[in-house]
Structure 1
């Protein structure tokens, strides 16, 4: 049994499959999930687990070289904006509609229970060397 890190076996397995350049969409409970990417749905109840908890857990496990979020987050969700702005390298902002289009190319979608708007980010995996 794993001692630390992500214990969810489905999520841990999907993370192990990722490579350089792969996209991981971390999204709130309301984000439309496109057909195509693998999905690990962690949503349990509204707000559980939170976007912040899941994002921090993923950032502890992944090498991230860039990220994309909806520019609407700055006005509509100050908490999510502060989280994204403070933790992500090379954060690009696009319209929410464009983020939904880009999410179709993600390799993995991790759905949280977050119930506040625009708590979504598309992470681009880097390489550790």
Structure 2
């Protein structure tokens, strides 16, 4: 049994299969989930786990070379915008409709219990060397 890091076996296994350039969408409970990508649904009740908790847990285990979020997050959810801008110096912002289109190409979608709007980010995996 693992003693640290991500303990959810489905999520831990899915992360181990990711490679350079693969996309991982971390999304709130309301984001439409496209057909195709592997989904690990962590949502338990509204707000649990939070978007911030899941993003930080993933960043502790993944090499991320880029991130994309919806430009609407700044006006609709300043707390999520601040978190994203703090964690990703190279954050790209696109219209929410475009983020939904891009999410169809993700390799993995991690759904949180976040109940605030636009708490979504598409991560692009990098390499550790």
TM range (shorter): over 0.9
Report the TM-score, using the length of structure 2 for normalisation: 0.99
Contact 1:85–1:91 (8 Å) recurs in 2: yes
The alignment covers a number of residue pairs equal to: 129
Task: Structure 2: state its 5+ residue gaps.
Answer: none
> Quick check: 55-64 or 81-90, which moved more?
81-90
Alpha-carbon distance in 2 for matches of 1:25, 1:119: 11
Runs of 4+ in 1 over 6 A off after TM superposition: none
C-alpha RMSD of the superposition: 0.4
Deviations 1:13-67 (A, max 9, x none): 0000000000000000000000000000000000000000000000000000000
How many angstroms apart in 2 are the aligned matches of 1:76 and 1:124? Answer: 24
TM-score w.r.t. length of structure 1: 0.99
Structure 1: stretches of 5+ with no match in the other structure: none
Q: Quote the Cα distance in structure 2 between the aligned partners of 1:37 and 1:89.
A: 26
**8 A Cα contact 1:64 1:89, kept in partner:** no
